[in-house]
Structure 1
Amino acid sequence: MSEDRISRDTEVLVVGLGRFGSALAATLERLGREVLAVETDEYLVQQWSHRLPVIEADATNPEALEQLGAEDFQVAVVGVGTSLEASVLITANLVDLEVPQIWAKAVSAEHGRILRRIGAHHVVYPEYDAGARVAHMVSGRMLDYIEMEDGFTIVKMRPPRETHGFTLGESKIREKYGVAVIGVKPPGEPFEYATDSTHIGADDLLIVSGDTNLLEAFAHRP
């Protein structure tokens, strides 16, 4: 089954309720998605059983996954990262069960390469991604940072001083810096999509997109 045919209300199997897996499962529940969590640690099972459907089982054992019906899930997330062996075994078991979408957490580039080679469709690096994101936010006036693909990035930031009191058309941000202001949010007012006539105030928030390096340069403007 192709990814674009997987329904948004499909139940998600989450293996591992460490910090990553539990945060992911809880967020999916909050978003209205049905979740089944699998965890070997009895304490974590008890801790989360009042919030999530949780089964205490060892997902490194293919028979355990078969018994809980893992092959019926369209999406599975392997949140186990501290044990490389367990992460690889669980992912391999899900591949053998032909789960259409397998997301797996990796703690290193080598770990990620192994997961991809055995069949994980998506590999994520939570610690690295969080560290890189915070580094960009600490280094300038960025308040949030999302790097997409091929060097394209979207940021939330405070406007440089030279833009205060001018419209976007007057500031000529795209012409000068090669980045595009998508929207502006004045304090206490709703977000508005940007046009040439949009006024920029000192306390506004800007949503800006463009090449990562150009955005870094723009965000470091005084």
Structure 2
Amino acid sequence: MVDHRPRDTRDARRDARRESDPEAVLVIGLGRFGSALASTLDDLGRRVLGVERDPALIQQWSGVLPLVEADGRNPDALEQLGAREFRTVVVGIGTDLEASVLTTGNLVDMEIPQIWAKAITAEHGRILKRIGAHHVVYPEYDAGHRVAHLVSGRMLDYIEMEDGFTIVKMRPPQELHGFTLGQADVHKRYGVTVLGVKAPRRPFEYATAETRIDGEDLIVVSGDTTLLERFAARP
């Protein structure tokens, strides 16, 4: 008979189950996505508790992160580890569709305020949304989509917000070199807005009409995704 009761490691519940700490995050599933998320939160100083049912992963992360060995498919196990105390829970389970859906459903039944769930396909994501996940993320798709934009031009970083609005870090097109933003009239000519400039060995500067652009600068630009693509493709 399988014991579904949670087992603590590194005094996990003492460390991460705080007295109603609204910043604490419960991460269920410590595969590549969940472990990266949990360890980053831990590095940022956020209280985090990892939940995993695979003994091999428990052994791998024991002593590194506060952990509980438990099965999120079992609502009693979630109750025992104190899942209700967390305002934010991330379900990092991806390839096991049944475990992903059952775990998310249990959290919805517990009325967790913020449930983030990983999906590996559009159909998987629709199911998670339908049962009540507040946020569905597609790590593989999002990474591929972002990298495609980066390799297609001079963009160095790319953040797509919503409704076609994007922010990028990039090298400036050659036709801007040596001109101020007022002289180049970037917004009127290209339909995008330069938010700031980072010159070598100088601090970041919020852009004004008097800001001069040089070839070694990095610029942060916002605007419609299509217009930004055209702007970044200029020689």
User: TM range, normalised to the smaller chain?
Assistant: over 0.9
Task: Report the AA paired with residue 62 of structure 1.
Answer: P
Task: Report the AA paired with residue 78 of structure 2.
Answer: L
Is 2:28 aligned against 1:10? Answer: no
- Cross-structure match for 1:4: none
Task: Report the AA paired with residue 128 of structure 1.
Answer: Y
1:23-61 Cα offsets, whole Å, 9 max, x none, are 110111111110010001111111112121101111111
Is 2:150 aligned against 1:137? Answer: yes
Is 2:178 aligned against 1:179? Answer: no
Distance in 2 of aligned mates of 1:215 and 1:161: 15
SS in 2 for 1:43: helix
- Choose which of 26, 42, 61 in structure 2 pairs with 1:29: 42
Distance in 2 of aligned mates of 1:10 and 1:186: 36
Q: Is the 8 A contact 1:39 1:57 kept in 2?
A: yes
- Cross-structure match for 2:110: 97
The within-5 A match list for 1:39-188 is 39-188=52-201
Structure 1 residue 90: Cα displacement: 0.4
SS in 2 for 1:207: strand
Number of residue pairs the alignment of both structures matches: 216
Q: TM-score, normalised by structure 2?
A: 0.90
Distance in 1 of aligned mates of 2:82 and 2:226: 47
Q: Is the 8 A contact 1:37 1:55 kept in 2?
A: yes
Task: Report the AA paired with residue 154 of structure 1.
Answer: I
Alignment gaps of 5+ in structure 2: 1-19
Distance in 2 of aligned mates of 1:191 and 1:110: 42
Distance in 1 of aligned mates of 2:163 and 2:21: 27
Q: CA RMSD in A?
A: 1.1
Distance in 1 of aligned mates of 2:167 and 2:146: 11
SS in 1 for 2:111: coil
SS in 2 for 1:149: coil
Q: Is the 8 A contact 1:14 1:78 kept in 2?
A: yes
Distance in 1 of aligned mates of 2:21 and 2:86: 13
Q: Is the 8 A contact 1:107 1:125 kept in 2?
A: yes
Q: Is the 8 A contact 1:9 1:33 kept in 2?
A: no
Q: 1:190 to 1:9 in 2, by over 3 A?
A: farther
Structure 1 runs of 4+ aligned residues shifted over 4 Å read none
Distance in 2 of aligned mates of 1:19 and 1:196: 45
Alignment gaps of 5+ in structure 1: 1-6
- Choose which of 191, 194, 203 in structure 2 pairs with 1:190: 203
Structure 1 residue 138: Cα displacement: 0.2
Q: Is the 8 A contact 2:22 2:86 kept in 1?
A: no
Structure 1 residue 10: Cα displacement: 2.1
- Cross-structure match for 1:3: none
Q: TM-score, normalised by structure 1?
A: 0.95
Identical counterparts, % of pairs: 71
